Copies of this chain bind each other. A is one copy, B any other.
Amino acid sequence: MLIANAVLADGTKRHIDVKEGRIAALLPTTADLSARDDVLDVAGALLLPPLVDGHIHLDKTLLGLPWVPNEAKGNKVADRIAAERKVRAGRTVPESETGSNLVRQVVASGTLHMRSHVDIDNQLGLKNLHEVLKIRERFRDLVTIQIVAFPQSGIVRSPGTAELLDAAIAEGADLVGGLDPVGIDGDLDGHLDAVFGIAERRGVGVDIHLHDGGEGGIAQLLAIAERTIASGMKGRVAVSHAFALGSVDADTATRTADVLAKAGVAIMSHGPGGAAIPPLALLRERGVEVFGGSDNIRDAWSPFGSGDMLERAMMIGYRANFRHDRELQLAFEMVTIAASRVLRIKGYGIALGAAADFVVVEAGSVAEAVATRPRRKLVIKGGKVVAKDGVFAA
């Protein structure tokens, strides 16, 4: 396959020769193609690397089911955990099916790599992990699904969960997760002992949900950074949400950013609607890896979300008050190259020898693509078209 007349993110125009699922050549558009009978002419459309969702919950979504109204009694994380238990108890369709619906939808929008948190607690056991492992197996040739064993009900306050997290890693989860060590679990050291203990023992990375805001949240971020250095896990730890960074003064945010950068702790933001957004441009400027994710999509937590990471980049940019092209570029990098670094995706990007994975859209620039979120003309995986005009075709 040869993709002709593609415009790359930097504005250069290239023909892309694909062999055995990899980029075999990036040719000037003056190159003679008359001898080729496998040309796909994209006629000046923008060709982007595949989108990367750094935070999704494949086991939570209710996508494809008739509308399920949100029934949470209050507005706290604990209220939503309780509401989700009810929805889960009423499920008649397994998580592997609704999660598969979501995978097909996100592939159609250009996402080929994702990190999915998967609920694990002492009621559920490893059930949701098993469901998501089925999804991963089903789509193994199409998408990367990295699994975080996520203690949605806490660890210390939910006896037996630490052992389950450990067992989850043994059964195929890639990282160990965490959740508000103070706000939910009420025991900072106990929570981090468990999380980092498993991570060190199993040699896996860490990704901790941290909703706790203000100085309390900052203290937890600093503790996570300290643990990261102590356990030699620089570059393998992420904190998702980290609303605290958006709720403190700029000096505190900057000092904390410097600590996170030094420890190699990455920050995931989905551009929260009802909470403070971390100062993404500042974090990046101070050397912190920031990346994007969908978070909840049509589940017991949120009625919103589509899994479209160009839309997510727009939401992140909108919430971060981004307006300039360089800012929209940052939002785009959060859902592409930066997320690929955090997820350690090999062979990512538009470069010689990289995987022939592409998203093709009608847009004049990356900034325009983020702002307008055009329909994906083509999604290509390993040189094969897997979605066309927004419709899954794999």
- Report if A90 contacts B (CB, 8 A): no
Residue of B nearest to A363 (CB): B67
Q: Is the CB of A303 within 8 A of B323?
A: yes
Q: Is the CB of B274 within 8 A of A321?
A: yes
| Residue in B67, B273, B367, B372 whose CB lies within 8 Å of A321 | B273
CB distance from A297 to the nearest CB of B (A): 10
- Residues in B neighbouring A315, C-beta threshold 8 A: 318
- Report if A383 contacts B (CB, 8 A): no
| Residue in B69, B306, B324 whose CB lies within 8 Å of A367 | B69
CB distance from A269 to the nearest CB of B (A): 13
Count copies of this chain in the complex: 2
- Report if A319 contacts B (CB, 8 A): yes
CA distance A329 to B179 in the complex (A): 32
Range class of the A interface residue count: 20 to 34
- Residues in B neighbouring A298, C-beta threshold 8 A: 371-372
- Which residues of chain A in 315-335 are interfacial with respect to chain B, using CB atoms and an 8 Å cutoff? 315, 317-321, 323-325, 328
- Report if A231 contacts B (CB, 8 A): no
- Residues in B neighbouring A370, C-beta threshold 8 A: 303
Known pairs A323-B302, A371-B298; A67 contacts B365 (CB<8 A): yes
| Residue in B303, B306, B318, B365 whose CB lies within 8 Å of A273 | B318
- Residues in B neighbouring A306, C-beta threshold 8 A: 372
